[in-house]
Amino acid sequence: MHIPVLQKEVVEYLDPNPDENFVDCTIDGGGHAAAILEKNGRGKVLGIDWDREQIEECKSALKRFEDRLILANDSYVNLKDIVEKYKFGPIRGILLDLGMSSWHLEESGRGFSFSSDEPLDMRYNPGNNLLTASEIVNKWPKEEVEKILAEYGEEKYASRIAEKIDKERSIEKIERTVQLVKIIEMAVPGKYKRGKIHFATRTFQGLRIAVNDELNNLKNALPQAIEVLSRGGRVAVISFHSLEDRIVKNFFKELTVKKEAEILTKKPVTAGPDEIKANRRSRSAKLRVALKL
């Protein structure tokens, strides 16, 4: 089951009141949405998710709220169009939880996890997105693979890993996660394999971001969130790595310069020791919130 990160803090900052409407741009298992729906009385939540299977799971998990919940199988990069399609508003708050759900790692079978033997897919929406991690690893120029690992994965051994991928793919097509993990293991030094995080973490992160165009989607979605938000409304974003957090931080700063928003979190809100102990994935979460003026 997906454990929603910083749920208490999200609810506190969004501060839902009866009859107010909210958008959960990455509804996943519905944990944050359920917490909002429990507080906003007759208000509604528009839940968006790129993954059709997640939408179906959410529909079942939040059945008790079905009269106040609208679910859209789409990407938050189309936020403005989605809001207009469902004539949803006025909108008091918007949440973007950019973390990957436990379901994707443990049950989707799409190669998000380096701990399982699965096809190298990594698409959130296999129906609409044709690019897979396998295509990048097997067909893209070595220099492009290196760039993805270095920029999106922030992998310091990107050059060595890309070199090894290039060599191995000329011998045998790399189609499974276990193949890629083995290649990374051969490419990086021994000390790196004994680090705090798994040696394949950053490579998998980089490929996932590239496959789903996550950073560009975020850059395109943030202005839409401010546009559709009511005056006095709040937008909350939970990021999980420095690239996402930097985009959110800089966007909020630009809004304050233009006097379009006030930043409510002078420093990003992070999980406390109890939450980290209960959910290790929360340790890298950062919550930033802005209020539209």
pLDDT 10s digits, 55-99: 988 999 999 999 999 999 999 999 999 999 999 999 999 999 998
What does the chain come to in residues? 293
Identify the helix (H) or strand (E) that includes residue 185.
helix 177-187
Are 3 and 102 within 8 A, CB to CB? yes
Largest CA distance in the chain: 62
| pLDDT tens per residue, range 92-127 | 999 999 987 666 667 778 888 998 899 999 998 887
Identify the CA nearest to 4 among candidates 95, 94, 108.
95
Name the packing angle between helices 201-212 and 177-187 (round to 10°).
130
Note the pLDDT of residue 101.
67
Q: Which residue is listed with tokens 């994707």? A: 104
pLDDT by 10-residue block (mean), the chain, 293 residues: 83 96 93 95 94 88 94 96 97 92 71 92 83 97 98 97 98 97 97 92 95 95 98 97 96 98 97 91 93 97
Instruction: Please report the domains of the chain, with CATH numbers, ordered by start residue.
Output: 7-103+214-292 (3.40.50.150), 113-212 (1.10.150.170)
Calpha distance 25→43 (Å, rounded): 17
